[in-house]
Amino acid sequence: MATSPRATQQKFEPWTDPDAKPYVRIEKVTKKFGDFIAVDDVSLSIFKKEIFCLLGASGCGKTTLLRMLAGFERPTSGRIFIDGVDMTSIPPYERPVNMMFQSYAIFPHMTVEQNVAFGLKQERLQKGEIENRVNDMLNLVKLGQFAKRKPHQLSGGQRQRVALARSLVKKPKLLLLDEPLAALDKKLREHTQFELINIQETLGVTFVVVTHDQEEAMTLSTRIGLMNHGEIVQVGTPSEIYEYPNSRFVSEFIGSVNTFEGRLVEDEPSYVRIGCDDLEAPIYVDHGVSSAPGATVWAAIRPEKITISREKPDATDNWASAVVRDIAYMGDMSIYLLRLDSGKVVRVTQPNIYRHAEDRITWEERVYLQWYPESPVVVTK
């Protein structure tokens, strides 16, 4: 997982402050297209200066939700407030909101400059002010010398920045970004992610980003709203979503995970023990679970939280024996695919700390897997 550049900065967590007033409030919004429910009873609070990512697979309703914030779609029911004002039935051209489209939607018959000035001209601002603001914005996105170019003379990355400049120049209260980096190649995408965060911090605009790319969501956002079938399934910071998923869906959507199905054998307030058909030893977790004994639960363990060794552990819990089926050398780490005796395949990643590790674990070797009691996450749905 890429680390968030925010980690190094001072704490920004208005959502933990009970007195903080949300800047954008989505209240019980539902959108139906005929019989199809695209967005199902979604309520969300987004705070000022946040980068909030709506993450989900295609068709999960994230784009529809974004389009309702922009005003292109009216909610079937529910209300949307921005900065305290009810925006539910305000048309897009009267909203203090701008959108950066996935296709960028740059006007092909206008130069870069004219594209960026377009929104300001609509506001009937004075010519001098328009020029100043357009120039400032073009410099901010480093397109100063391309002002007179037509869109078709620009590269993909430059076009993306024109679209960004055009939507930011109106100083919107809220900037909506629909898959802002999807059309860029990997190198450029990583670079642009950080640039986007810098620009957002310079201008202090609130961002709502729609993406299907979990890595992009992890890097960019202050918080992620994970969507599935029109519903928000979990809202949280990137690390909350990754480390404390509230369901199998969330744990499997974000990153890779090994999920073991089992029954609660021992259920105490301070620990649980889970019996699992795939494992010789039970799974011991050092926190309680709100579920009845005997109930079916799932223990999710991230690949990097499992260790591999040749010696059989003498612990009673939290281990398994397996045979190495495949190894993928990635440079910084290696991915091991290991087959348990039940046939289930477990994925484990190990950092490659030593350059010439002699006696490396190799194909078809019998090994033992182990993890700490705090590593598994138990989910009940």
Give the residues lining the site for another protein (CB under 8 A). Answer: 70-72, 91-93, 97-99, 101, 103, 105-109, 118-119, 122-123, 150, 152-153, 166-167, 170
* DSSP summary character for residue 84: T
If the CB atoms of residues 206 and 251 are measured against another protein, the closer one turns out to be 206
Q: Is 131 exposed, middle or buried (0-12, 13-18, 19+ CB in 10 A)?
A: middle
∠ CA 365-279-370, rounded to 5°: 60
Structure tokens at 340: 């348990």
If the CB atoms of residues 123 and 311 are measured against another protein, the closer one turns out to be 123
Least distance between another protein and beta carbon 115 (Å): 9
Q: Are 69 and 27 in contact (CB under 8 A)?
A: no
If the CB atoms of residues 5 and 92 are measured against another protein, the closer one turns out to be 92
User: What is the Cα–Cα distance from 297 to 306, expressed in whole angstroms?
Assistant: 20
If the CB atoms of residues 31 and 166 are measured against another protein, the closer one turns out to be 166
Structure tokens at 66: 């974004």
Least distance between another protein and beta carbon 330 (Å): 38
Least distance between another protein and beta carbon 67 (Å): 9
- Find all residues with CB under 8 Å of 121, minimum gap 6, and list them: 130
> With DSSP H G I counted as helix, E B as strand and the rest as coil, what are the percentages for the chain, rounded to 5?
25, 30, 40
CA end-to-end distance (rounded Å), the chain:
25
If the CB atoms of residues 107 and 329 are measured against another protein, the closer one turns out to be 107
If the CB atoms of residues 19 and 123 are measured against another protein, the closer one turns out to be 123
Least distance between another protein and beta carbon 93 (Å): 5
Bridging pattern class, strands 97-100 and 85-86: unpaired
If the CB atoms of residues 70 and 80 are measured against another protein, the closer one turns out to be 70
Least distance between another protein and beta carbon 119 (Å): 4
Least distance between another protein and beta carbon 99 (Å): 5
Quickly tell me which residue has 């004994």 as its tokens.
Answer: 293
Least distance between another protein and beta carbon 92 (Å): 4
Least distance between another protein and beta carbon 255 (Å): 32
Select from 43, 29, 106 the least CA-distant residue to 73: 29
User: What is the Cα–Cα distance from 167 to 105, expressed in whole angstroms?
Assistant: 11
Select from 376, 364, 375 the least CA-distant residue to 324: 364
Structure tokens at 230: 């029109």
Least distance between another protein and beta carbon 295 (Å): 48
If the CB atoms of residues 93 and 354 are measured against another protein, the closer one turns out to be 93
Least distance between another protein and beta carbon 105 (Å): 4
If the CB atoms of residues 98 and 192 are measured against another protein, the closer one turns out to be 98
* DSSP summary character for residue 268: -
Structure tokens at 374: 């705090």
If the CB atoms of residues 122 and 202 are measured against another protein, the closer one turns out to be 122
Bridging pattern class, strands 174-178 and 85-86: unpaired
* DSSP summary character for residue 95: S
- Alpha-carbon dihedral sign for residues 241, 245, 247, 248: positive
The DSSP code sequence of 210-228 is EES-HHHHHHH-SEEEEEE
